[in-house]
Structure 1
Amino acid sequence: MTGAAVPPPPQVWPSLRARDARALIAFLVEAFGFEATAVFAEGDQVHHAQLSWPPGGGIMLGSAKDDPDDPWPLQPGSFGAYVVTDDPDALFDRAVAHGAEVTAPLHDTDYGSRDFAVRDPEGNRWSFGTYRGEPRV
């Protein structure tokens, strides 16, 4: 059998909490192009959601809890991530069209990437660009 090898699933899962997890999931799918791979919820309470990034990787999120004993007490709006994309210009236009707040417009970096940064409706910060990191030695 020939063809490209299927990469292993991601082993690092950035995660966040949201005041309105269902609305944030819809925004991340529509504005950025994440895919809602799994959403486990009861009513408005999202217990666990997996959003896959089509080129690889993904994030997990869930509803914020008002529980002082919450073992994962992440605060909504405190998340930040850099996400690799092959077409930052088109993604920028898509994100802006869906209401993402621009914090850094499209620009070329001194390290060869084309980047932009936005904030989602919960206040999380997202940076997108072509920089894939330095090769492992």
Structure 2
Amino acid sequence: MSAHEAGSPPVPSVWHCLRCSDSRRVIDWLVEALGFVETACHTDDGKIVHAELLWPEGGGVMLGDSGRGSADPHAAPPGSGLAYVVTVDADAVYARANAVGAEIVMAMHDTDYGDHTFSARDPEGNVWSVGQYRGEPAP
């Protein structure tokens, strides 16, 4: 395993995963509204079976179309996801989301635990909270 380059975001070690009715629509929304970068998209018979998007500051999302049968152990209902995305500039991401008409479900606000955050709903109903809170340090 190789280390990441100095100054670049670390290679994701935790991925948020979603099943979608229309993965292409969600991918395009994540790229346009929030600024994710699409890095992989594999299809089979016209369906997206696996796609990867990286968050430029570290982390990533994997997703694919639902409807692969009841034997799919990852068959969470489309639109049931909730993710928190960390950024150094939540105001810039908020402005980007607003500029493309994203449905903002929680306006930008400050929390009592030090976050500066907002939440938007993607075209399938998943909620994406974006903020500057990086969590408490490890003990």
The reply to whether TM is greater than 0.5 is yes
Unaligned 5+ residue runs, structure 1? Answer: none
The code of the aligned residue for 2:108 comes to L
Equivalent residue in structure 1 for 2:16, among 14, 19, 24: 14
Runs of 4 or more above 4 Å deviation: 5-8
Instruction: Provide the secondary structure at the position in 1 that maps to 2:15.
Output: coil
What is the CA deviation profile of residues 48-75 of structure 1, one whole-angstrom value per residue up to 9, with x for unaligned ones?
0010000001010000115122222111
1:86 Cα deviation after fit = 1.2
1:23 Cα deviation after fit = 1.2
Equivalent residue in structure 1 for 2:134, among 118, 132, 135: 132
1:115 Cα deviation after fit = 0.5
Instruction: Provide the secondary structure at the position in 1 that maps to 2:24.
Output: helix
1:42 Cα deviation after fit = 3.4
1:76-91 counterparts in 2 under 5 A? Answer: 76-91=78-93
Structure 1 length as normaliser, TM-score? Answer: 0.90
Unaligned 5+ residue runs, structure 2? Answer: none
1:4 Cα deviation after fit = 2.8
1:1-137 counterparts in 2 under 5 A? Answer: 4=6, 8-42=10-44, 44-65=46-67, 67-137=69-139
* Number of matched pairs: 135
> Do the aligned residues in 1 keep the contact of 2:18 with 2:78 (CA within 8 Å)?
yes
1:43 Cα deviation after fit = 5.6
The code of the aligned residue for 2:91 comes to D
1:8 Cα deviation after fit = 4.4
